[in-house]
Amino acid sequence: MKNKSDGKEKVSSNTMNQQHNSHPTSHDKKMSLIYSGFIGECAEIKEVFQTIEKVADTDSTVLITGESGTGKELTARAIHENSSRRNNPMVVLNCGAIPSELLESELFGHEKGAFTGAHQPRIGRFEMADGGTIFLDEIGDMSPGLQVKLLRVLQEQCFERVGSVKTIHVNIRIISATNKNLKKAIHEGAFREDLYYRLNVIPINMPSLHKRKSDIPLLINHFLEKRQANSNKSADTKKTFSKRAMETLINYNWPGNIRELENLIERLSILVDEDTIRYKDLPEKMKEKATTRQNIPESIMERNWPGFNQAVDQFQKNLILQALNQTNWIKAKAASLLKMNRTTLVEKIKKMDLESMENHVDREFTSNHKYFSIDELDISHLLHTEKSTISIMK
């Protein structure tokens, strides 16, 4: 692809702070990329970037699908800014935000007296976008009547203003987007099949944020830097997240996708006084819905790993002994602490040969193959403290 001649900010490759005025190379694809503020390095988003590179300098229509907040408009802007049309307008219209009876006038314009209240002639969005790109967001909300007229614009690049018989010719590229299932809408008779195939020449599906977990720290860092740059307080330092808070954000499902994440970062940056944002500062819904993962003390990770079954047996022994020590070897209380039946606990004590340790001075379990101590497996680790931990993920 050709370099941009107007010197506008375009692509950043290996860091989120470094910016270039040229198109990304094949080397850039292996790194974190930015297209018009769109950040990512996971396989799904790199596929989107590669599609942008291939289609940007063509006039093919593009249909961008995906959930709300996944960056569909950013993708449309990236296509326009990397195309030969970049010096001409990109006009954006949300078809779902305008009543159907007014949408026709917005798209095609109208003549004076075309309808009640039309006191002056007005050009429509298609004329405004002549030579450039028009982005029709929420295309699935367009009425069937307008769908027919849009189909003609796609086929012939011409139309008439409302109240006029004069045909206007334009040179535009149409990019559309929707969060709806258009194939289902076709089956239900709500969307024209012929229009769908005209719009869907180049399909781009935007991955939801919960499928881009590896990008979440990059996005958080970007939004923190953006917030710091826009702050009115010159003394403000960029905030950071504790390990547990970051893990919670990574494992959250993000129904609002990137838009929800950006709004949360702005909120926390304003409301949290400390430089480090911790788990306790996060919204309750995120604490409740975050994926639960088993945390293992970091000190264990630094050592040679035992076999899995051996490690589980060792863990059980140490955990039971910890409970017995904390309850002064009152088995009923220890069983309650461990959330098991007393008889089950007694059986495990016998099976693990722990009775002999009841009178041990320190009551600390030892063995010839000790991989971690009681302190390392203190029950506080199971209560999700703010201590640094390493998590085992599938």
Q: CA angle, corner 141, sides to 140 and 144, nearest 5?
A: 90
Mean pLDDT of all residues in 24-31: 39
What pLDDT band is residue 291 in, cutting at 50, 70 and 90? very low
Residues 135 and 94: beta-carbon distance below 8 Å:
no
Would you place residue 304 in the very low, low, confident or very high pLDDT band (cuts 50, 70, 90)? low
pLDDT, averaged across the chain: 80
User: pLDDT tens digit string along 61-117?
Assistant: 999 999 999 999 999 999 999 999 999 999 999 999 998 889 999 999 999 888 888
Sign of CA dihedral 230, 233, 236, 239: negative
Residue 354 confidence (pLDDT): 82
Tokens representing 85?
């049309």
Read off the pLDDT of each residue in 286-310 and give the average, rounded to a whole number: 57
Whether the CA torsion 144, 148, 154, 155 is positive or negative: it is positive
Distances (CA, A) of 194 to 138, 160, 367: 18, 21, 74
Task: Report how far residue 58's alpha carbon sits from residue 341's, in angstroms, rounded to the nearest whole number.
Answer: 70
Indicate whether 169 pLDDT > 90. yes
Q: Which residues contact 353 (CB under 8 A, 6 or more apart)?
A: none
Name the residue with higher pLDDT: 137 or 3: 137
Q: Does residue 354 contact residue 320 with C-beta atoms inside 8 Å?
A: yes
* Letter string b/e over residues 184-194, b meaning 16 or more CB atoms within 10 A of that residue's CB: ebbeeebbbee
Q: Convert 218-242 to b/e letters by CB count within 10 Å (16 or more is b).
A: bbbbbbbebbeeeeeeeeeeebebb
Contact 13, 33 (CB under 8 A): yes
Does position 360 have pLDDT exceeding 60, yes or no?
no
pLDDT digits (tens, 9 = 90+) for 115-135: 888 889 999 999 999 999 999
pLDDT mean over 56-62 = 95
Token duo for residue 381: 């680790």
Percent of the chain at pLDDT above 70? Answer: 75
> pTM value?
0.65
pLDDT at 126: 96
User: Contact 19/9 with Cβ under 8 angstroms?
Assistant: yes
Summarize the confidence of residues 304-316 as an average pLDDT.
75
Helices (H) and strands (E) in the chain, counts: 15, 16
pLDDT tens digits for 46-56?
999 999 999 99
Q: Tell me how far apart the alpha carbons of residues 95 and 138 are, in angstroms, rounded to a whole number.
A: 6
pLDDT recorded at residue 7: 35
The answer to which of 26-35, 214-223, 254-263 has the lowest mean pLDDT is 26-35
Local confidence band at 214 (pLDDT 50, 70, 90 cut-offs): very high
pLDDT for position 35: 55
- Please give the backbone phi and psi of residue 253, each rounded to the nearest 5 degrees, phi first: -80, -20
The pLDDT of residue 54 is: 94
What's 5's DSSP letter? S
Reported as type and span, the H/E element at residue 91 is strand 90-94
Quick check: 44 and 27 in contact, CB under 8 A? no
Looking at residue 120, the DSSP 8-state letter turns out to be S
